[in-house]
Structure 1
Amino acid sequence: MSSRLENKVAIVTGAASGFGEGMARRFAEEGAKVVVADLNAMGAERVASEIGGSAIAVGTDVTVRAEIDELVYAAMQAFGRVDIMVNNAGFTHRSGSLIDVDEETFDLIADVNMKAVYFSTLAVVPIMERQGGGSIITTASTSGIRPQAGLTWYNASKGWAITATKSMALELAPKKIRVNCLCPVSGDTPMLARFMGGDTPEIRAEIRAAIPLGRLSTPLDVANAALWLASDEAAFITGVALEVDGGFDI
């Protein structure tokens, strides 16, 4: 066990499964105190209990500002600081015609993938500024760089996340707050079926065929990329949309 995040406190949203769970576990392995946040409170409790004493779980609806504020307050009460904020919670409509996406689904995509980043930024930036710096990481997507047919409104939300990351990085650099995002290709996570309109061996084979390195992304791939961005090894890295895609966007 190494300690690249020793003495650092990280909040990870959407951490009860998939990429978020991978990040929470990997950060803890590297010495971080981790706040495991998810709408699925039982799932968050499971992940935190398996990590052990260096983690707490907080049931959080990231679309509600008061719940984001409570999440950050819980982190401060438990660990006294916030060094890393990972906006990983995400939502997508099922792959299909853009005109078939109802307004309620569109609003949820906007609230989870976009507005939640705004809420968390309002909550953590004053804390990070007082501490002398910090790291904000958002899980965007290759869909924000290379849009996929059938996912128009999701693609747009992830393009927004990339642009917001770059603009935030410019504005927050004088405060020593680095802002980056991750752009994973389709991964072996519970959201795969919604992205692709199903999850069958044939669909997975089609995805693998489009990725030069020949496989889907994994939670560990994304967690290792996030770990580097969160660590002091990336102290001179800000405003980056890091492709974790096996060459898909080439």
Structure 2
Amino acid sequence: MNFVIISKRHLVSYLLILSLSAIFSSCEKISIYGQGNTITVQKNLPSFDAVETFGDIRVRIVQGNQEDISITGFENLLAVTETEVKNGLLRIKFSDNIRNVINSNVVVNIILPNIKAGTMHGNGDMQISNFTGGDSLSLKVNGNADITVRSSVYDLALMDVNGNGKINCRDLQTLNASLVIHGNGDIALQCSDNLKARIYGNGIVRYSGNPVLDVQISGNGHVLRL
């Protein structure tokens, strides 16, 4: 029988390699497929007036006197869906060890007295409905997400699209608006007084109303009437 003699120095190196391999394996990001029972979970969170999401998540926000938030989806996806409120901002995302979510059906339903900002990163969609009496609304899309605003009134709208996303505010009434598109994004809105648009790329702004226009385009973008 042959024996291999390992020196103490080599043994320590070998054990260190094994330890590092275990650490990296535990930190490896994984894909998850949504399946199983669909459940709803109520959340008890501090007050917020802005929402930011990451990943394939759908958000429905409506105006109401009492704050309420619930999340519906496959049980295995809700187990890795995280919510955190900091400085009035609600952040919704999947756990950091999740690389990709397949077959996501996660829907976040929110009731708020007022919403000031909505931001989406990734491929989700957000609907904001029936808000009146607000001073300003800021909307931002990074990626391919969509934001839709329905039956709402704000004095000022700030909108920013980076990528191929869309912001549909045909049913939002606003006095003044400032819009920025980087890429191939699409923004549609109503505006009555002043409309400022900056397009870098092939983006399109569509508007209704008779605002004073301040437009700058770098690329093949367009500003069109609805």
Q: Indicate whether the TM-score tops 0.5.
A: no
Per residue, is there more helix in 1 or in 2? 1
Per residue, is there more strand in 1 or in 2? 2
Please, what TM-score do these two structures have when normalized by structure 1? 0.27
More contact order relative to length (CA 8 Å, sep ≥ 6): 1
